[in-house]
Amino acid sequence: MFHERIKALRNALGLNQVEFGKRLNVSKQCISNWENGNIMPSVDMLIRIAGEFSVSADFLLGLSAQHTLDVSGLTDEQILHLQNVVNDMKRLQSAETG
């Protein structure tokens, strides 16, 4: 599960393995090994990866399917606006698949 999620999140950010490795101060080979399921990162690195993607370690490890969004520092009005956008996107997706 980890290897699938880290690759999908990296691609969603438009980063290649080299670019993502630079963000974490690791080699492209290290990123490749994680994405191919050959090795797992250390706990400290897992925390750093979760921070880079703004997701929980539980999500990365497949223990939770829920994405979270850090809205700290935003006003209640801004948070409500974001929630409305998310709800609209869910309705559109449901209409497309339903």
Q: Is the pLDDT of residue 69 over 80?
A: no
Q: Which fold has domain 2-61?
A: 434 Repressor (Amino-terminal Domain) (1.10.260)
CATH 1.10.260.40 domain range(s) in the chain: 2-61
Residue bearing tokens 């009005």: 77
Its pTM stands at 0.69
Classify each residue of 12-40 as buried b or exposed e, where b means 16 or more C-beta atoms within 10 Å of its C-beta: eeebebeebbeeeebeeebbebbbeeeee
Helix (DSSP H) and strand (DSSP E) numbers for the chain: 6, 0
CA–CA gap between residue 50 and residue 56 (Å, rounded): 6
pLDDT at 39 (0 to 100):
95
Q: Is the pLDDT of residue 71 over 90?
A: no
